[in-house]
Structure 1
């Protein structure tokens, strides 16, 4: 079983491409014969992890790929690490603005993704989809969910998971704004590629995809 998640709209937006792409990728993978569930998460600290944990308990997946929107980024971002810190620059959809609070009190400072991010990077490049390995998932609800996922999976050997950020969709960008975006079709295929790569990869590739700052 594969679990894909995306978020509801936030920050005044009417859509969130992470949910559209997750739902679309689930349909693509289901048509290929995979057992897939797609779940929309609320953009709310605390509630998002509770919904995710309920989905994990219900579907008992072997692979989990959570997705979120990173407006302003120009590529699909394969997140490497989740940190145990909530620090909200803007309110979530319930008006919460945690500052310098742990996602899980007393838990480790960080968790690494257990997805093969380097292999996925290579596969996305081969598919012509702009992609990067990202060293930060931020400190908003996306990182909150990423950390919550990895904390939940810590006692589930063999279950792999991670987080992928997608840019704005074309329909979210005002004409002439110059903001980076990608077609939803590419984001949908990107999530499907990540899933296929994870299923086919037992040991990640060793290739340079770091950052100097």
Structure 2
């Protein structure tokens, strides 16, 4: 057993509206079947399409499990590719959820920033996965749609200091089957973990350089 296993949480959503089967949860279950390898401790869960449930669930996921990365997956009827969302938005939540509820303020966090970006550069993740030729096209978006997907993403980015990601998948068979979506999620999450690792070494590197500069240029202060 590896002591320092990376903890990753991946969530999908329950059915809503005309999505009697939510391809996001199907894809996440497929990912669970595939796994993320020995070095990664993967936990998956299905998120209700309800604003208040998201507000209750997400803090407990971040606090209790202390993950390195949380990836939320949602379905988009408009998507034809696996779409990586760069940022989550705070305002504009007018659509009613599965309980016919929407926040009175129409926002996630009363005093939060209007937009929070993931620490992960989705363009890089996208390029790498597309270059790996897994037979599933990946693209990047900056608008997660102002419904439960965007709401969940913003909340998670806020709680996790940006160590979160959101992936939109098309409905099943339009064009990808569950196995293809699962395989794409696996490739995407692996690249994300790789980037987080690189980021850490860059941060440490920067920190070390910064220390050296401080000692060298003391007479300037």
Where structure 2 has 5 or more consecutive residues not aligned to the other structure, the ranges are 1-6, 200-221
Match of 1:79 among 75, 82, 85: 85
In 2, Cα distance between equivalents of 1:160 and 1:5: 14
Structure with the greater alpha carbon radius of gyration: 2
1:61 and 2:67 are equivalent in the alignment: yes
Alpha-carbon distance between aligned partners in 2 of 1:184 and 1:99, rounded to the nearest angstrom? 36
The count of aligned residue pairs is 189
Q: Which residue of 2 aligns with 1:210?
A: none
Runs of 4+ in 1 over 4 A off after TM superposition: 30-33
Answer yes or no: is the 8 Å Cα contact 1:72–1:181 preserved in 2.
no
For structure 1, the residue ranges without an aligned partner over 5 or more in a row are 171-179, 204-213
- TM-score of the pair, normalised by structure 1: 0.81
Larger helix fraction of residues: 2
Q: Partner residue of 1:192?
A: 186
| Structure 2 residue matching 1:92: 3-state secondary structure | coil
Matched residue of 1:3: which SS? Answer: strand
Q: Please state how far the C-alpha of 1:169 moved relative to its aligned partner.
A: 0.7
Which among 117, 120, 124 is matched to residue 119 of structure 1?
124
TM-score normalised by the chain length of structure 2: 0.79
2:8 matched residue in structure 1:
2
